[in-house]
Amino acid sequence: MDLTPSRYTLFGTKGEKMKKIIFAAVCLMIILADQRAHAYGEGDFQVWNTEDQEFKFYEKTKIFLQEEVRIGDDASDIYYYHFDGGLGYDVGKYLDLGIHYRQVYEKRKGKFKIENRTYGNAILKYDLCGFKLSDRNRIEYRHFDWQDDSWRYRNKFMVKFPWKFTKMEIQPYVADEIFVPLKNDGYLSRNRFYAGLGFNLTECIKCEVYYLFQSDKSSGKWTDANVLGTKVKVIF
């Protein structure tokens, strides 16, 4: 039996079409896998860890250093890291001012992109019936090599409850933070709600454990993430 026609059918015109279909399917699978890995889905569980150092520089002036790592995709993929350095000044009982620089590495489409961020803080502080209230106002200038630079306003309002438990002085708190890009529409783009516990590990080491519910708006849709966060602050 002459198998030449069937061989030609398999490896000829029909074979070439099949190869193209297989190649396109493989490419599509790679693209979808990459999107899943770096554009996490609704309700993603994440873990954030922050390490702070605070140095008293001169009377009411302090130097701040910070590192933070964020792990997404159900706590399986490191997608964010930043280093932050700043200078703060305690104006008085009700106001703190600060200027900072932050270098951010954030994974986008499988690669880490760099953002250079300069920002200023003005933190209003006051006590009300034992509750410690703070209202942090932040203006950020965000510089990128891979997209247009931008400005953003952030406001974080925090309430520390007047109760402290055990010798570690465990103190509950809640907070809410909004993110507003200062361009075009200027609408809210992100919201974070915090509920946590702060405590003293030693006289100069302070810690926090918190739950954070984050909502991000992209292309007109909101995506939520659930975050378990930890923070360690060393005061020198």
Mean pLDDT of 111-128: 97
pLDDT in tens, 88-100: 999 999 999 999 9
Mean pLDDT for 13-33 is 46
HEC per residue, the chain? CCCHHHHHHHHCHHHHHHHHHHHHHHHHHHHHHHHHHHCCCCCEEEEEEEEEEEEEEECCEEEEEEEEEEEECCCCEEEEEEEEEEEEEEEECCEEEEEEEEEEEEEECCEEEEEEEEEEEEEEEEEECCEEEEEEEEEEEEEECCCCCEEEEEEEEEEECCCCECCCCEEEEEEEEEEEECCCCCCCCEEEEEEEEEEECCCCEEEEEEEEEEEEEECCEEEEEEEEEEEEEEEC
42-235 carries CATH number 1.10.8: no
pLDDT band with cut points at 50, 70 and 90 for residue 184: low
Domain ranges of the chain: 4-34, 42-235
- In this structure, of 6-10, 110-114, 124-128, 158-162, the range with the lowest mean pLDDT score is 6-10
For the segment 195-218, what is each residue's pLDDT rounded down to a tens digit? Answer: 999 999 999 999 999 999 999 998
pLDDT score at 101? 98
Average pLDDT rounded to a whole number, residues 127-141: 97
The predicted model gives 29-44 an average pLDDT of 56
What pLDDT is recorded for position 6?
42
